[in-house]
């Protein structure tokens, strides 16, 4: 009976009210703490760093309380200075939270080297597409007397003869020497001599 009377008493409802107030206050403080620690409402727009050097890009990111990490260099892009930022993740204009790490890809110092493939006596139709696929440019094509028409007889760069395995910078220009098919193919003559002698009586 005393319990029932207590539950109906004014003191009980006052204690319930105080408990609810404390509970709501705790919930409010926890939400505020979470909002502060996770930067829930904070949004920072990622700046466009394309074309800037690493030092300048790092300074700009520090102004926004952002961090950065440099990734491996990309393929050389002549539209950008050497070692300038060519790509970034997240992209410019994206919204991130404070202290977010921005990943930067830099422009290398120049085009990478490519290896000259096997070409001697192969057809021009085979060699030219291979050179172009490697990023090389085709310069002058000169014909010389040879029994094989359009067979590649030599490759040159800036007047210097190339051989398979040589390395050149991508975008280099290659001059090609091909046969014109004007000569007849001759089998190599045997160097063996008849050493037999006539028997003497």
CATH classification of the domain holding 156: 3.30.10.20
**Closest listed residue to residue 167, CA positions, set 122, 114, 123, 121:** 114
Q: What mean pLDDT comes out for the span 114-122?
A: 96
Residue 100 lies in a domain: yes
Q: Do 117 and 174 lie in a common domain?
A: yes
| pTM summary value | 0.56
Q: What mean pLDDT comes out for the span 189-194?
A: 54
Q: Do 72 and 101 lie in a common domain?
A: yes
Q: Do 128 and 166 lie in a common domain?
A: yes
Q: What gap in Å lies between CA 170 and CA 172, rounded to an integer?
A: 5
Residues 6+ apart with CB under 8 A from 82: 107, 108, 109, 110
Q: Do 95 and 150 lie in a common domain?
A: no
Q: Which among 83, 106, 129 is the end of a domain?
A: 106
Q: What mean pLDDT comes out for the span 115-127?
A: 96
Residue 194 lies in a domain: no
Residue 134 lies in a domain: yes
Residue 39 lies in a domain: no
Confidence at residue 187, expressed as pLDDT on a 0 to 100 scale:
62
Q: Do 123 and 82 lie in a common domain?
A: no
Q: Which residues form the domain of 53? A: 44-106
**Mean pLDDT computed over every residue of the chain:** 86
**Closest listed residue to residue 155, CA positions, set 168, 174, 182:** 174
Phi, psi (5° rounding) for residue 22? -60, -40
Structural domains of the chain, count: 2
Residue 200 lies in a domain: no
pLDDT band at 200 (very low <50, low <70, confident <90, very high): very low
pLDDT at 195 over 50: no
Confidence at residue 189, expressed as pLDDT on a 0 to 100 scale:
65
Q: What mean pLDDT comes out for the span 79-93?
A: 94
Residue 98 lies in a domain: yes
Q: Do 150 and 169 lie in a common domain?
A: yes
pLDDT digits (tens, 9 = 90+) for 89-116: 999 999 999 899 999 999 998 898 999 9
Q: Number of helices (H) and strands (E) in the chain: give both, helices first.
A: 4, 11
More confident residue, 64 or 37: 64
Confidence at residue 16, expressed as pLDDT on a 0 to 100 scale:
81
pLDDT digits (tens, 9 = 90+) for 26-56: 998 888 777 666 555 578 999 999 999 999 9
Confidence at residue 93, expressed as pLDDT on a 0 to 100 scale:
94
Residue 24 lies in a domain: no
Residue 186 lies in a domain: no
Strand partners, 157: 160
Q: What mean pLDDT comes out for the span 126-134?
A: 96
């Amino acid at each position: 009976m005393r319990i029932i009377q207590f539950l109906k008493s004014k003191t009980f409802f006052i204690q319930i009210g105080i408990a609810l107030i404390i509970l709501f206050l705790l919930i409010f403080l926890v939400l505020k703490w979470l909002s502060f620690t996770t930067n829930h409402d904070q949004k920072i727009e990622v700046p466009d760093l394309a074309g800037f050097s690493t030092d300048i890009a790092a300074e700009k990111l520090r102004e926004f309380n952002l961090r950065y990490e440099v990734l491996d260099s990309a393929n050389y892009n002549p539209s950008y200075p050497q070692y300038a930022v060519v790509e970034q993740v997240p992209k410019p204009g994206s919204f991130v939270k404070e202290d977010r790490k921005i990943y930067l890809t830099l422009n290398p110092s120049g085009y990478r080297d490519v290896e000259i493939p096997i070409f001697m006596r192969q057809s021009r139709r085979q060699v030219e597409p291979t050179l172009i696929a490697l990023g090389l440019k085709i310069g002058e094509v000169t014909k010389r007397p040879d029994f094989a028409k359009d067979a590649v007889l030599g490759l040159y760069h800036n007047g210097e003869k190339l051989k398979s395995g040589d390395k050149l910078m991508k975008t280099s220009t290659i001059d090609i020497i091909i046969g014109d098919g004007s000569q007849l193919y001759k089998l190599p003559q045997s160097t063996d001599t008849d050493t037999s002698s006539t028997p003497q009586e």
